[in-house]
Structure 1
C-alpha cells in the first residue's frame, strides 16, 4: 500500500477510535477521497465530496451496472450502523426517505437509489418494453445498492457494520417488504409504511376508479365527484360515526366500524347540493367497495372512509381534475420530482393506473381503460406480478436470521388502502401465527399517505426499529405526535399494535398519550 493510501486509512481509523488514540491528530476524521474507497465490480464512483449539513459527511455518488444511480452519505460521527431509505411512486431520481428521520444527524451511514431509471415519480414511460428496467425497479436495484453501499461503508470506516436497516413509505414500504422476502440477508430490521406491494392489484383499483371518475379518458377537466360531494359524504359519515370511539374529533379510530351507506345520500328527486346523483353514488362506491369483475367478484381492496376533504387526500389521489391543479409540485412527504416535469394528469391514480397498464402490463402506450373489462387481466398481468409484487406471506427466511419488520399505515391513506395493509398482515399471520413475534402492524387513525391528516402522524420509525433490534422487545404500541407549524411536538396519542386499538379514558386531555390505553378487545 502506498504512503498516501496508508495515511488515508490511518485517518479513517483515528475517526473511529477517537482523537485520543496514539498517533491521531486532534482533527482526525474520515477524509473524502477516492483512495479510501475500494474498487468494486460493475460499480463506478462518479464523485466524492465533503458536505457540511445537515451533519458533516462524505457524499459518495456512483452508478451500479451502468444504470442504477446511488448516493451514499458517510457521516463524520458514525454510530456504527447503516440504513437505506426508500423512494416513492415510480422513483426516477435518487431518493432516501430515511433522511426525514434524521438518519445523518443520528450518525447512520445511509444510501438511496433511483432504482435504475430517470424520470418523474408519476411517470412510468421508462418501463415500456424494458425488462431490465422492470427488474431493477421491482427488486434488484435496491439489493445491489444495499450490497454495494455496505461494502463501501465498511471499507471507508475500516470497521464492520453493527446493524443494517431499511425505512420507507409507499414505494419505499414495498421495497422494504420485497427486500425481506427476496434478500433476507440485506437488513436486520425494516420499517414498511403504506406499502405499494401489489402493483397489478393497484392497477385494477386505479383503473376502475378512473373509469368511474373520468368515463371519457380524453376529458379530464373535472371528475364525476367534486370537492362539494366529497365534503357532503365526509360530514355525513362523521355525523353518524365520529363518536363511536368516545371522542368527537373528526378521527375514526377504526373506519371499518362505521356502517354508513353512501347510497343513503342519493337524490330522490332533482339533484341538489344536499344529495348525490346516481352517477356520483356509483363513483363513491367504486372507491369504497373496491374493483370488481363482471360477475361482481372482488378484485382488490377498496378504501375505508377518510381523507375525502384532506389536502393530501381524495383530490390529490383519486378525483382531482385539471381545473383544480396547483403548482406546488409536491408528490408525497420526503419525495420530490427530481427536477422532471410532472405528467399531465388530473389525479395521481390517473397517472399510476395508466402508467402501470401501459408500461408494466401491456407494453402499449396507446392502451386505454375505456371499455376495458378485466376479463383476461389475471393472465395478462402475471409476468409483471412475478417481478413487481411482494405479496408472499412467507417471511420465514427473513425471520430465521432474526429479522424484524414494523408495518404501518394511515387509515385515511388515499394512495394505498389501509385495508390492503391489514389484509397482507392477516395473510402473514394465517401462514404462521408465530410471525407476530417478529412482525407488527400499526394502523394510524386519521393519518393520510405516510404523513399528515387530522390524526397524529409523526413517528421516527428508524428509532423504533433500532430500539426493537437492539433490545429484542417487540413494541406493543408506539407514540405518534402532532407537529405544530415549526415542526415541534404538539401532543400525541398511542398507536397500538394491530388488532388492538387505542381507547380514550373519557376524562383526560385528548392530546395526552396517558389518556389512552390499548384495548385488545376491539
Structure 2
C-alpha cells in the first residue's frame, strides 16, 4: 500500500453533495499516545496505550446557500491501519468532535482504525446545553432550523462521505468495513444513521440511545411539582427510598449483590417508608421521609405523573436503582435539581428565551411547553421511525446495550422502541439486537456489569456473520475491590442465576 503525503493537496478532489469546501488542513502527528481506559469509551473495553503516527485531516465545509463552517476530523494511521473506519459520536449537545470526546477517536486509532468525528458546525463547549443558545437562536431570536437539522442528521451523512473519501484518497483504497460507535446522543446518532443514511456504515454500536428528544420537557415534571409546592425533599430522603427498594428486592434474583437482574419484578411500595426517621447528612440532623419524596420516587419508578391525562407520557419509568438527582442543598436550603438538558431545551428551543423563568412557571405553562415541544420538534428530533428495512437491505448491523440503572435514559423507553421495531419486522434480530445491562448507569458506571465486549461482538457479526446472543460484561470494583462478572443476554431474554455455583462465574447464569 503506497501512502501519499499528508498534505492538503492530497485531498483537493474531495467533494460533498450539496456542499462546498471552505478549507482542508492536513498534518502528520508522530509518537501520539492513544488510549481509552475501561469505561471511558462506551461499547469498548480498555484500549492501549500505544504509540501511533497518523495524518490528521480537518475539513471545513458549508452547505449550499448557508454561511457556516462544519468541521470534520479524520485521523489516518500511517503504518498501523487495519483497513477499517470507525466514526465516533458525541453526547448531549456535542456531536462528537471536541476535547470532551477526543478519547473516542483515541481508542479507535489505538486499535488501527481510521477515526472520524464532526462538530456539525456547532461550536458548543458544554454538553449539558449551557451555551446552546449561542447556536440554536438566530439574530432574530428564532430557532436556526438549519443548524438544528445539521445537529440532528445532516452532518452525519456528510461525516460518512468525508471519512470514506478521505480514506480512499490517502490510502488509495476504500475501507473494507465501516463502523460507527456512540452512546447517549451518540446512540441517537447511530439510530439516525441507520434510518436516514442506511448505506453509510456496515455496523453501528449505539448504546443508551437518547430517543424522544421532543418529549424532553417531561423530564422536568418532578421539579415542576416541587417548585409549585415550594417544597423540596432532602436528597437523603430520595436515597433512603432507593436503598429501601434495593434492600427489599436485591435477592429476588437469588444473589445479594446490589444489582437487580429484573427491576420489573420489584414491587416495593415507597409509602411503607413514609414518615420514617433517617439520619440526613445534608440537614445535619434526623429527618422524616416526606410525602412528596414518596410521590417523587413513585412517579419515577412507574412513569406516572400528575399530568398523564393531559399529554402522552414518554417517561416510561426507571429502575428502582435510579440515581435520583431530584434536589440539591446549600447551607440547609434545598432546590430542585433537574437534568440540565431539559432546562435548556425548554428555555431555548421551546420558549426561545434563555432567561425564561422555569422555577416560577405555572402548571398551565408547563403543560403548554410539553405540548409545544412535541408539536414543533417531533418531526425534527423525535425518535427515528421504527422501520429499519432500508438498513437491513444495505446489509447493516445495529447493536445496542442499555443500562437499566441509567438516570438519563430509562431502559423502558429503549425497550419500547425495540418492540416497536419488532412489530414492523418480526425478523428484526437478524440485524438489530438489544442487550439490557442490569445495574449499569448512563453508558457506563453503576454497580452492574458493563458490556465491554459490545463493539467486538459487532465486528464479529458484520465480518463473520456471527450474531451475538450474549455479551461479556464486567463491573468496576466496589470499595472492597470486588468485581461483578456477568453474561448479558439479547432481549427479550435475560440472565438468570441457576441457584448454585459461584454467582460471580458467568457460567452460573443462563439466558431465559
Which TM bucket (shorter chain)? 0.7 to 0.9
**What is the CA distance between 1:198 and its match in structure 2?**
1.1
2:348 is aligned to 359
Whether contact under 8 Å (1:101, 1:461) holds in the other structure is no
Question: In 2 relative to 1, CA 115–226 (structure 1 residues): closer, same or farther, beyond 3 Å?
Answer: farther
Question: In 2 relative to 1, CA 511–356 (structure 1 residues): closer, same or farther, beyond 3 Å?
Answer: same
Report the structure, 1 or 2, having the larger strand content.
Answer: 2
| Count of equivalent residues | 458
Whether contact under 8 Å (1:361, 1:384) holds in the other structure is no
Distance, in Å, in 2 between the alignment partners of 1:71 and 1:323 is 46
Whether contact under 8 Å (2:88, 2:105) holds in the other structure is no
**Structure 2 gaps, min length 5:** 35-51, 63-67, 138-142, 281-285
Which of 100, 109, 112 does residue 104 from structure 1 map onto?
A: 109
| Per-residue CA distance 1:26-46 (angstroms, 9 max, x = gap) | xxxx54222322333423214
Whether contact under 8 Å (2:487, 2:509) holds in the other structure is yes
1:41-440 correspondence runs (5 A): 41=15, 42-43=20-21, 44-53=23-32, 54=34, 55-65=52-62, 66-76=68-78, 77-91=80-94, 94-95=97-98, 96=101, 99=104, 102-119=107-124, 120-123=126-129, 124-125=132-133, 126-128=135-137, 129-204=143-218, 206-215=219-228, 224-267=232-275, 273=286, 275-290=288-303, 291=305, 293=307, 295=309, 298-308=312-322, 313-315=323-325, 318-321=326-329, 347=337, 349-369=338-358, 370-371=361-362, 372-375=365-368, 377-378=370-371, 380-440=373-433
Question: In 2 relative to 1, CA 447–491 (structure 1 residues): closer, same or farther, beyond 3 Å?
Answer: closer
Question: In 2 relative to 1, CA 258–384 (structure 1 residues): closer, same or farther, beyond 3 Å?
Answer: same
| Per-residue CA distance 1:81-136 (angstroms, 9 max, x = gap) | 11111100011671457737832122111111222211211122121221111111
Distance, in Å, in 2 between the alignment partners of 1:52 and 1:190 is 30
Distance, in Å, in 1 between the alignment partners of 2:482 and 2:466 is 26
Whether contact under 8 Å (1:202, 1:353) holds in the other structure is yes
**Structure 1 gaps, min length 5:** 1-12, 16-29, 325-344
2:37 is aligned to none
Question: In 2 relative to 1, CA 118–420 (structure 1 residues): closer, same or farther, beyond 3 Å?
Answer: same
Whether contact under 8 Å (2:276, 2:289) holds in the other structure is no
Distance, in Å, in 1 between the alignment partners of 2:484 and 2:342 is 38
1:4 is aligned to none
Whether contact under 8 Å (1:484, 1:490) holds in the other structure is yes
| TM-score normalised according to structure 1 size | 0.81
Distance, in Å, in 1 between the alignment partners of 2:187 and 2:243 is 31
Question: In 2 relative to 1, CA 467–262 (structure 1 residues): closer, same or farther, beyond 3 Å?
Answer: same
1:476 is aligned to 469
Distance, in Å, in 1 between the alignment partners of 2:466 and 2:482 is 26
Distance, in Å, in 2 between the alignment partners of 1:208 and 1:260 is 22
Q: Match of 1:56, SS?
A: strand
Distance, in Å, in 2 between the alignment partners of 1:404 and 1:81 is 16
**What is the CA distance between 1:381 and its match in structure 2?**
3.0
Q: Mean Cα displacement is larger for which, 175-184 or 36-45?
A: 36-45
Question: In 2 relative to 1, CA 198–297 (structure 1 residues): closer, same or farther, beyond 3 Å?
Answer: closer
Question: In 2 relative to 1, CA 185–234 (structure 1 residues): closer, same or farther, beyond 3 Å?
Answer: same
Distance, in Å, in 2 between the alignment partners of 1:453 and 1:323 is 28
Question: In 2 relative to 1, CA 287–225 (structure 1 residues): closer, same or farther, beyond 3 Å?
Answer: farther
2:65 is aligned to none
Q: Match of 2:82, SS?
A: coil
Question: Alignment RMSD, CA only?
Answer: 2.9
Distance, in Å, in 1 between the alignment partners of 2:107 and 2:373 is 42
| TM-score normalised according to structure 2 size | 0.82
